[in-house]
Amino acid sequence: MNTTPTMNDLNKRAKLSSLWIFIFFNMIFRDLHEFARPGFLEEMMTGVVGGVQITEGLMLVGGLMVAIPLLMIPLIQFLGYKANRLTNMIIGALQIVVVIGVNRAPDLDDIFFAVIELVALLLIIRLAWTWTEEDAC
């Protein structure tokens, strides 16, 4: 008798939470990865990065972009089945728009991280879309 749990044995809430955590870490590591780019620190010190003025509003938007995947983790645990499905599909779709929107002039590492995030977001939407009430237990 095989008692090793597989991915199919995990419920949808655990899968969705894991994917949101995965997306969050990819976002953070992508940002940390930028520090290794030559000239990045000098750009940050001037307040203009990639031709974009760093403002308080831009910092708030960046904070929201990171907070949304983190917020999804407890929401998945506490929302009911229908609200959970809808929230994951809507926020997943909005995050796809965000990932594409912030990569206006991507280099290879930006493309790498964006593709990983987009695949995870599409998987979140697919899991939420195919979630049935029987799975909600």
Coil, strand, or helix at residue 48? strand
Q: Specify the pTM.
A: 0.83
- Residue pair 11/19 in contact by the 8 Å Cβ criterion: no
Number of domains in the chain: 1
pLDDT of residue 8: 53
Contacts of 43 (CB under 8 A, 6+ apart): 49, 50
Rg of the chain (C-alpha set)? 18
93 inside domain? yes
Residue ranges making up the domain that contains 98: 13-32+53-130
Low-confidence ranges of the chain (pLDDT < 50): 9
88 inside domain? yes
| Side-chain-side CA neighbours of residue 135 (13 Å) | 19
pLDDT of residue 120: 97
41 inside domain? no
